[in-house]
Each structure stands twice: as structure tokens, then as C-alpha cells.
Amino acid sequence: MARKFSPQRRAAFLAALKATGNQTLAAERARVSRSWVRLHRARDAGFDAAVRDACLDFARHVREGSKPPVRWAWHDGEELVVTGRADGPRQIMRARIGQWTPRLEARFCAALAACANVSHALRAVGITPAAAYKHRKRWPDFAGRWDAAIAAGRSRVERALVTGAIALLDPEVEPPAGLAPMSVAQATTVARISSRRRA
């Protein structure tokens, strides 16, 4: 017990708690038990105050995004996420099955940038629209990446359509790969939409 109570273990626990806001993860990182934490919080008012301060410090410094800091992205092979509301208490904890994680956010944004279609991108990652829009509302950083992915996707799709329309009228232009041939009416519609967007 004396070895566990060392100042080094206490400092390691408090540093991890300040970084995560999560007593369980902090105890695991410092290699102490949760019962050790409870025992010393009950017996030592100074330690209890330090634990409270570390949690408050995490709450003050947590970023607006839903991604944990890089060194806290994984713990013992499990992906970690920031939980809680943007306007309320938050902490870093293990991701549950089906929960939004930084990796899932990246996959969704990549799918969205490829197709510019939210429904298709959600099907590609296996998330419901209700869960996606709730997550978007909760995390402004993710909402920004979502909007950027849609803009990139629309731009990519528009460029491909315009190139396809030009290829229909000019046989020297190679149509984009993966784009079905289009009719003159479709090419005219694409050109009209493209010129409206630029105006």
C-alpha cells in the first residue's frame, strides 16, 4: 500500500485525470485501483480537493471538438472518445459499439466528400440519420468538417459532370472515369446549374 501511495503515483493519477476528466482511465494510467482513489479521497482532504481541481481543469480546457487529444485517442487497444454536451460536463471515455468515434467521423466525412450525399454516406458507415444529426448538433467541430466534406463532394461531382458534358460535345475531351454517358439535355442542365452556382 505504501508503494501505491507514493507521490509519483498520486502525481501520475492527477495528471491523467486533468487530461481526461475520467477517474477510471486516470487510475488505469497511474496503475492504481478505483478503490485506492476512493480511499485516499475519503482520508485526505488535500487529495480530494486536487481531484476536484483536476476535473474542473479538464472541463475548462477541453476543446470544442469531439476528438480526444492524440495521446488519449487509444487506451489499452480501445478507441477513446469525448462524451458529454458541448455546454455541459465532458470526459474522455472508451467508445461503445455504434458510438461516433474520430475514426468513424473520418470515414463518414470521406464518404460524404466522395458522393456529396448524406444518406449514402450514412449508409456507408452504418449510422442512422437521427444519430448523425444529433452528433452534428452536439459537436460544432464535426459540423464544420461535415460542411467542408459536402462542399468538396459537390465541387468534385460538379467538375465531373461538367467534364462529361464537355466530352459529349467535344470528342477530343476524355469523359471522367465512372461517369455514365449523358444526353444533350442532361449536359445542358448541368451547364445551366453550373453557371447559376458560379453567379
How many domains are contained in the chain?
2
Which is more confident, 1 or 20?
Answer: 20
Would you state the pLDDT for residue 187? 63
Q: Which residues pair with 92 in a beta bridge?
A: 82
Q: What is the pLDDT of residues 108-151, one digit of tens each?
A: 999 988 888 898 899 888 889 998 998 898 888 889 999 999 89
Would you state the pLDDT for residue 63? 56
Note the pTM of the prediction, 2 decimals: 0.55
C-alpha grid cell, residue 38: 476512493
The domain in which residue 32 lies consists of 7-94
Q: What is the pLDDT of residues 30-60, one digit of tens each?
A: 888 888 888 888 988 999 999 888 887 777 7
- Alpha-carbon distance of 146 to 134, in angstroms, equals 13
Contact status, residue 122 vs residue 107, Cβ threshold 8 Å = no
- Alpha-carbon distance of 2 to 116, in angstroms, equals 59
Q: Which residues contact 33 (CB under 8 A, 6 or more apart)?
A: 27
Residue that is last in its domain, among 38, 70, 94: 94
Do 74 and 118 lie in one domain? The reply is no
Q: What is the pLDDT of residues 17-32, one digit of tens each?
A: 888 888 888 888 888 8
Would you state the pLDDT for residue 3? 47
Residue that is last in its domain, among 59, 94, 129: 94
Confidence of residue 2 (pLDDT cuts 50, 70, 90): very low
- Alpha-carbon distance of 115 to 28, in angstroms, equals 42
- Of 154, 148, 177, 176, residue with least CA distance to 164: 176
Residue that is last in its domain, among 94, 113, 147: 94
Give 88-102 as a DSSP string.
S-EEEEEPPTT---H
Do 111 and 176 lie in one domain? The reply is yes
